[in-house]
Amino acid sequence: MKMLHTVNKSPFENSTVISCISMCAKNSSILFIEDAVISVMKSTKFSNTISNSLKDFKMYALKPDLEARGLSLDNVIEGVEIVGYEEFVDLTTEHDSVQSWL
């Protein structure tokens, strides 16, 4: 079953992003929302982890949350797809289930 995982906390705040990545099955997807969009920016100490994980899962980041935080869309790690709320809805219906990591 293809699962969509959502994460909402910055990787600098707690280890949820890392826990999610370590437990995400291959062929699942991860959507970064709210403060977790910080995870997908280039040049952070987590950037390599995120880039390497793109081999195993698709990753998405919510555009309104990036823009709200003044994070440039040009600075998002290549391979992470930037989406809006409508695509967020599509992701939840296209996957078999959703796990929100809290």
Rounded-to-integer distance, Cα 68 and Cα 84, Å? 13
Choosing from 17, 24, 40, 77, the residue that interacts with another protein (CB under 8 A) is 24
1: tokens are: 């079953």
Q: Cα 8 to the chain's mean position, in Å?
A: 8
Q: Cα 81 to the chain's mean position, in Å?
A: 9
Given the rule CB under 8 A, which of 23-31, 37-45, 46-54, 73-81 is the region that contacts another protein? Answer: 23-31
Q: Which residue, 73 or 98, is less far from another protein as judged by CB? A: 98
Q: Which residue, 73 or 89, is less far from another protein as judged by CB? A: 89
Query: What are the angstrom distances between the C-alpha of 95 and each of 20, 24, 47, 71, 77?
Result: 17, 14, 26, 28, 23
Contacts with another protein in 72-91 (CB under 8 A)? 84-86, 88-90
**Residues within the interface to another protein (CB under 8 A):** 1-3, 6, 8-9, 15-16, 19, 22-25, 28, 33-35, 64, 84-86, 88-90, 92-93, 97-102
